[in-house]
Amino acid sequence: MNPKSRYIHLVAFLFVSFFIFSCEKAEEQKTGNPQPNIIFILADDLGWGDLRFLGQQYIETPAIDRLAKEGMFFSNFYSGATVCAPSRSAFMTGLHTGHTPIRGNTEVEPEGQRPMPDSVMNVAKILKAAGYTTGAFGKWGLGFPGSEGDPVNQGFDQFFGYNCQRYAHRYYPDYLWDNFEKVDLPGNDWTTKGDFAPDLIQEQTLEFITANQMNPFFLFMPIVMPHAELAAPDDEILAKYRAKFPDETPYLATRAGSDYGLNMSIPGYQSQPYPHATFAAMVERVDRYVAEVVSKLEELGLAENTLIIFASDNGAHKEGGADPEFFDSNGIFRGHKRDLYEGGIRTPMIAYWPGKVKAGSENDTPFAFWDLLPTFEELAGKKTERGLDGISFVPALLGTGEQKNHDYLYWEFHEQGGKQAIREGNWKLVKLQVFGGEGPVFELYDLSTDPSETTDLSAKNPEKLAELIALMDQARTPNSKFPLLKSERNARE
């Protein structure tokens, strides 16, 4: 065989081999790749009671209800924190707020939050090293643009959305971020409201799924809604709820610069003539995004090889005209966002994986955001060999093997005088005024008989109180950038 013929045969062989390999990879991805696609859909400030399957009377959430009906509902699952940035940090690092590097919503001017250190291992870096394509679409809040905490520097191949959670207060921003590139939105200029940013982010999210259908991917969807401000496109969803709430009392912003216009201030929340209708429309829009993701997976033949996790980053908020009392957003639970009572940190977590997760099942084992990293890591075929607060709940998820349980769960919050909480079994200790006021104040609850945390049992159970106070002290390490105890704050000053 002459050299030219040999070359032609070699090229043909390589082409056929590549074609066969591509087809096999596509088939594996669609029918049984050992590495499943992983999608984490994170709503923003969605309350436990905002979903129809958990008792919501006004808002329709058929897609999320379907996930619960055809998947597993975790009834004792907790967010990472009671506000945005530390909650996401706990998820990303597998560490609770006593250990995770970002423990509060610290702002950086002109845009962004204190950056996650690049030395910290996180879920995106782990899955990327395991062969996953990684994408994040929505609200970041863990590092200002270009910093070590920028999502592109934290393991994500692609990011599109709001880098800064303060800017994410506004649904009609002047621009969004596409990796390191600022993308101007021609319909918006802080005075004109034309492009509804969450819809643009959703378009990029669906494109990411399509573009990566041939290889395993990790998709983080930190959706902005229904966080304040109250805003939604004037479409059939809003029209439906305006008809349902015809006699609304408008929400009128009192803070200067809240409304769009020449004097607009970024952190504000706009006035809203239809606050109840708009909030309901925002929640249903989240549900529509969920439906679109599921539909896209089914269209591409990926549904049976994709795990979807749905949750909220913390409890329902009361800002910008939101009315959680009207919607009963926290259900039976006490408290809202910024509380460490159950209403501030208990999240309606759903796991959906057709053919793998038992349909219509429920798990009441206490888990939290810091358990997601080791769970995703195990599903990717990796094993955690470093100290984490999180534990994999794959056995509970798939009904295989023995499930390890937590000795305790811990949270801390650095505003409103400082707060801490710890749950051991069904006992929960809440500590208030950690560094402020006349504190500290301790409250002890038995969640098995009092999930609404109405009766403080600390006086009747001094031994359990002392035990949990000691455990709370052991559960955390100091962080100079986020001092909590009075001694830490005095040392910093």
**Which two structure tokens, joined as six digits, stand for 255?**
């803070």
Average pLDDT for residues 77-81, to the nearest whole number?
98
| Average pLDDT, rounded, for the chain | 93
Question: Any idea what DSSP says for residue 37?
Answer: E
Question: Any idea what DSSP says for residue 64?
Answer: H
pLDDT of residue 11: 40
Number of domain units in the chain: 2
Verify that 438 and 391 share a domain, yes or no: no
Average pLDDT for residues 263-279, to the nearest whole number?
96
Verify that 223 and 333 share a domain, yes or no: yes
User: With pLDDT > 70 as the criterion, what percentage of the chain qualifies?
Assistant: 93
Is 100 part of any domain? Answer: yes
Verify that 421 and 297 share a domain, yes or no: no
Give the relative orientation of helices 197-211 and 275-299 as an angle to the nearest 10 degrees: 10
Verify that 284 and 361 share a domain, yes or no: yes
Alpha-carbon gap, residue 390 to 427, rounded angstroms: 20
Average pLDDT for residues 424-442, to the nearest whole number?
95
Is 9 part of any domain? Answer: no
Verify that 456 and 375 share a domain, yes or no: no
Residues 6 or more apart whose Cβ sits within 8 Å of residue 445: 427, 428, 429, 430, 453, 455, 456, 457
Residues 6 or more apart whose Cβ sits within 8 Å of residue 371: 94, 390, 391, 392, 393
Verify that 358 and 416 share a domain, yes or no: no
Verify that 107 and 43 share a domain, yes or no: yes
**pLDDT over threshold 60, residue 224:** yes
pLDDT of residue 493: 62
Choose the final residue of a domain: 354, 378, 403. Answer: 403
Is 170 part of any domain? Answer: yes
Alpha-carbon gap, residue 463 to 457, rounded angstroms: 11
pLDDT of residue 391: 97
CATH number, domain with residue 445: 3.30.1120.10
Is 232 part of any domain? Answer: yes
Verify that 121 and 240 share a domain, yes or no: yes
Domain span at residue 434 reads 407-493
Verify that 493 and 393 share a domain, yes or no: no
Average pLDDT for residues 212-231, to the nearest whole number?
97
User: With pLDDT > 90 as the criterion, what percentage of the chain qualifies?
Assistant: 89
Is 115 part of any domain? Answer: yes
Is 455 part of any domain? Answer: yes
Span 6-55, pLDDT tens digits: 444 444 444 434 443 444 444 444 444 579 999 999 999 999 999 999 99
Q: Which of 121-125, 287-291, 486-490 has the lowest mean pLDDT?
A: 486-490
Helices (H) and strands (E) in the chain, counts: 13, 16
- Reported confidence tier of residue 439, pLDDT bands at 50, 70, 90: confident
**pLDDT over threshold 50, residue 177:** yes
Task: Please state the pTM of the whole predicted model.
Answer: 0.93
* Measured CA distances, 335 to 151, 241, 359, 437, 451 (Å): 31, 26, 31, 20, 12
Span 298-332, pLDDT tens digits: 999 999 999 999 999 999 999 999 999 999 999 99
Alpha-carbon gap, residue 187 to 191, rounded angstroms: 10
Is 182 part of any domain? Answer: yes
Choose the final residue of a domain: 355, 373, 403. Answer: 403
Alpha-carbon gap, residue 329 to 250, rounded angstroms: 20
pLDDT of residue 19: 42
Alpha-carbon gap, residue 211 to 203, rounded angstroms: 12
CATH number, domain with residue 333: 3.40.720.10
Verify that 215 and 169 share a domain, yes or no: yes
pLDDT of residue 23: 42
pLDDT of residue 10: 43
Q: Which residue has the higher pLDDT, 14 or 179?
A: 179
Average pLDDT for residues 163-188, to the nearest whole number?
97
CB–CB of 305/32 below 8 Å? Answer: yes
Is 15 part of any domain? Answer: no
Verify that 411 and 435 share a domain, yes or no: yes
Question: Any idea what DSSP says for residue 394?
Answer: H
Verify that 391 and 414 share a domain, yes or no: no
Phi, psi of 134 (to 5 degrees): -115, 135
Choose the final residue of a domain: 387, 403, 419. Answer: 403
**Which two structure tokens, joined as six digits, stand for 266?**
């970024």
* Measured CA distances, 398 to 69, 170, 351, 392 (Å): 16, 39, 10, 11
